[in-house]
Amino acid sequence: MLKSTGAAVAATLLAGCSGGGGGDGGDDGGDEGGDETTATEEDSGSGDGGSGGDNTVAVSPDGGLNFAPEELTVSVGDTVTWDFQAPTHNVAAWPDMHDKISIPDGAEGFGTMEKGGDAYATVGEGETFEHTFETAGEYTYVCTPHAASGMVATIVVEE
């Protein structure tokens, strides 16, 4: 999947806000076990049988500083979609970005920015972010601009 920097994600969000083609050009060859994601990527054939709504997290529903649901349980191989319902938010599960972030041993981090990118780069309202979970365990993630205000949630991934 396409790897991008926080600046590239922001540029993509500003330049490509149509829900049409989703033309991200495909892979850039930086495959690290299939855990990479992009902020504008659409669900591209993960055979979930149309259950996309079941694995969706609302980011800032009704303008609040929260994720809904606050905890979601999925299976290994499932894709979760974050739906940004307000601006000035992000998703970060890179343990070095915040002390409230934790991921299972052996798991790859994820976020709307790449590892080591801008922790405060945000995603536009109406955009989505997807991540496919390949390692079982508990993932605690944050919106870095609002983690101190309690914008923290958990994905539990079961075998």
Q: Please state the three-class secondary structure of 109-132 as a single string.
A: CCECCCCCCCCCCCECCCCEEEEE
CATH class label, 6-39+54-158: mainly beta
pLDDT over 80 at 49, yes or no:
no
Q: For 7-29, write each residue's pLDDT tens digit.
A: 333 333 333 333 333 333 333 33
4 φ/ψ angles, rounded to the nearest 5 degrees: -145, 155
Is residue 129 within 8 A of residue 82, CB to CB? The reply is yes
Q: Alpha-carbon distance 108 to 116, whole Å?
A: 13
The full set of domain ranges for the chain reads 6-39+54-158
**pTM (predicted TM-score):** 0.70
Q: How confident is the model at residue 54 (pLDDT cuts 50, 70, 90)?
A: confident
Residue range 83-112: mean pLDDT, rounded: 97
DSSP β-ladder status, 71-75 and 152-158: parallel
- What's the Cα-to-Cα distance from 62 to each of 58, 65, 111, 133, 136, rounded to whole Å? 10, 9, 22, 27, 31
Residue range 72-77: mean pLDDT, rounded: 98
Q: How confident is the model at residue 65 (pLDDT cuts 50, 70, 90)?
A: very high
Torsion of CA 15, 80, 87, 97, to 10 degrees: -100
What pLDDT, on a 0 to 100 scale, did the predictor assign at position 79?
A: 98
Give the amino acid at 79: T
